[in-house]
Amino acid sequence: MTNLETFDMKFFNSFLLTALLSFIAGIYVSYWWFFALVAFLVAVLVHQKGYKAFFAGFLALFILWFLLAFWMDLANEGVLSAKIASILPLGGSKWMLMIITAFIGGLVAGFAALSGSYLRSSSSKKVI
């Protein structure tokens, strides 16, 4: 089996759609939680097993939020993140703040995608 045969295109499409649509939604919609709705809808449309949907949503938002936090950190020369990291019990580590921020966003998107996957699988089963 080659690497292309073992590569899961549904996972990649779900990951890419979640990240891209969440980024676009973040530009045009001012609600921070809107990415969870995007992850939910992508998981409903691109059906996968629950753990794959969770991991695709988690990974997409973890990377997206980390990159956005890093970009914002560069934009203000690290002043804001250093101050927030000193307020929180992080020992002043702005990197830990970015990782925790990305982890929380990833968890929300992952559970939203898991819910979408379960909704899709429950609606496909016939009820007697």
- The structure tokens 């020369």 sit at 77
Give rounded-to-5 percent helix, strand, coil for the chain. 80, 0, 20
Q: At 13, which amino acid appears?
A: N
**pTM, two decimal places:** 0.85
Separation between Cα atoms, residue 57 and residue 50, nearest integer Å: 11
The pLDDT tens digits of the residues spanning 21-63 come to 999 998 888 788 899 999 999 999 998 888 999 999 999 999 9
Q: Which segments of the chain are extended strands (E)?
A: none
Map residue 7 onto helix, strand or coil. Answer: coil
Sign of CA dihedral 32, 39, 112, 67: negative
The confidence score (pLDDT) of residue 71 equals 94
